[in-house]
Amino acid sequence: MANRSGAAQRPNGQTQGKICQFKLVLLGESAVGKSSLVLRFVKGQFHEYQESTIGAAFLTQTICLDDTTVKFEIWDTAGQERYHSLAPMYYRGAQAAIVVYDITNQDTFGRAKTWVKELQRQASPNIVIALAGNKQDLANKRMVEYEEAQTYADENGLLFMETSAKTAMNVNDIFLAIAKKLPKNEQNAGQTGNNAQGRRLTEGDTGPKTAGNCCK
């Protein structure tokens, strides 16, 4: 809306070499800070009064990892339970997911666990899942212990970090950690800007079939 502006800040510059594209989806209860994390990662900004997300929003960001350029195509989804029916449309075929909860609210952690279960059941089998405990700057109002979340993440093979979209703490790091963990074999290397990207979202295509073709 009116207050979205400002130049994009890239965490890393572009380099030559291998280019990989990955589709990443953000899931989690409403108002935990999904959109804020994306905004911080993509534009380096934070809005106290970030508008709620309806349906989903799409953004991209590119980071460099050694000699590889990793381009994230990010789907930021609506958090309200009701929009749940739309979620498969966005996580289908995703190679990575960040499941976000708010460390000051226990319920959102419970909801995050449900999302993890759903992803493990329904999404591509090789999907990289990261758990983000957001609003770390409000640690004095903490309701979810770090250890509790860490244990849960370990048990389920998830990346885990506490983040703050407000102070930028761990925001780039969590995306970077995901990029490191994603397979960057020949199959995934290729050019960006391919028109076929959108096709992976359509109902007819199923995740596994197209999961590997993100970079042709």
Ligand X SMILES: Nc1nc2c(ncn2[C@@H]2O[C@H](COP(=O)(O)OP(=O)(O)O)[C@@H](O)[C@H]2O)c(=O)[nH]1
Residue numbers at the binding site for ligand X (CB under 6 A): 28, 30-36, 48, 50, 52-53, 79, 134-135, 137-138, 164-166
Question: What is the C-alpha separation between 186 and 55, in angstroms, rounded?
Answer: 34
Q: At 149, list the tokens.
A: 């979340």
Does the footprint of another protein cover residue 54 (CB under 8 A)? yes
Comparing CB distances to another protein, the nearer of 72 and 129 is 72
CB 152 within 8 A of CB 131: yes
Does the footprint of another protein cover residue 60 (CB under 8 A)? yes
Single out the residue of 64, 138, 169, 177 in contact with another protein (rule: CB under 8 A): 138
Residue 2's binding partner among ligand X, Mg ion, another protein, none (Cβ under 5 to 8 angstroms by kind) is another protein
Single out the residue of 199, 206, 208, 216 in contact with another protein (rule: CB under 8 A): 199
Does the footprint of another protein cover residue 193 (CB under 8 A)? yes
Single out the residue of 82, 155, 186, 191 in contact with another protein (rule: CB under 8 A): 82
Q: What is the secondary structure of 50-113 as a DSSP string?
A: PPPPSSEEEEEEEEEETTEEEEEEEEEEP-SGGGGGGHHHHHTT-SEEEEEEETT-HHHHHHHH
- Amino acid identity of residue 102, one-letter, is D
